[in-house]
C-alpha cells in the first residue's frame, strides 16, 4: 500500500506521525482498526533507515512550491485578462468620445469610463 506522506511528517512527537501512518495502513490491509499504541519496531527502523520524516517534509515543501507556482501563473493570467479588458474599455470609451454628438452627449459617462480605465490600468501595469 502507498501511504500519504503527510502522515509521516514530523509532529511535536515524531513517532505520532508514524503511528498514524501505521494505523491507516493496518485499516486498509486488515479491514479493522489497529489498537497499537506505537508503530511496530520494523516500521520505526525503516523510518529511521529511509529517513521517512525528512523525505516526507521535502515532498511536502515541493508540493507547496508547485502550488505557489500554479497560483502565481493563475494570477499572471488573470492580470493579463484584466489589462486586456481595461484596454478594450479605453478603446470603446475613446470611440464613443469621438462619435458623440454635442446635442446627445453624455460626456460625463464617457469621461468617467476613461478615468476608471486609466486608473485601473495604472494600478495593473505599475504594481
Tell me how far apart the alpha carbons of residues 39 and 114 are, in angstroms, rounded to a whole number: 67
The pLDDT score that the predictor gives to residue 11 is 47
The stretches in the chain having pLDDT less than 50 are 1-2, 8-12
Q: Which of 120, 101, 104 is nearest to 112 (CA)?
A: 120
99 within a domain of the structure (yes/no) = yes
56 within a domain of the structure (yes/no) = no
122 within a domain of the structure (yes/no) = yes
Dihedral (CA of 71, 76, 81, 87) sign: positive
The pLDDT score that the predictor gives to residue 14 is 55
The pLDDT score that the predictor gives to residue 61 is 94
Are 69 and 127 contained in the same domain? yes
> 88: domain range?
64-127
58 within a domain of the structure (yes/no) = no
Are 76 and 17 contained in the same domain? no
57 within a domain of the structure (yes/no) = no
The pLDDT score that the predictor gives to residue 12 is 42
Are 73 and 101 contained in the same domain? yes
What is the number of structural domains in the chain? 2
pTM for the predicted model, two decimal places: 0.58
Amino acid at each position: 500500500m502507498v501511504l500519504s506522506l503527510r502522515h509521516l511528517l514530523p509532529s511535536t512527537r515524531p513517532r505520532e506521525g508514524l503511528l498514524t501512518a501505521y494505523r491507516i495502513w493496518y485499516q486498509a490491509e486488515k479491514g479493522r482498526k489497529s489498537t497499537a499504541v506505537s508503530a511496530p519496531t520494523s516500521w520505526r527502523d525503516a523510518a529511521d533507515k529511509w529517513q521517512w520524516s525528512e523525505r516526507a517534509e521535502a515532498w511536502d515543501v515541493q508540493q507547496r512550491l508547485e502550488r505557489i507556482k500554479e497560483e502565481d501563473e493563475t494570477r499572471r493570467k488573470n492580470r493579463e485578462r484584466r489589462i486586456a479588458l481595461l484596454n478594450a474599455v479605453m478603446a470603446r470609451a475613446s470611440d464613443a468620445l469621438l462619435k458623440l454628438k454635442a446635442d446627445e452627449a453624455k460626456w460625463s459617462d464617457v469621461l468617467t469610463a476613461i478615468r476608471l480605465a486609466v486608473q485601473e490600468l495604472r494600478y495593473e501595469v505599475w504594481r
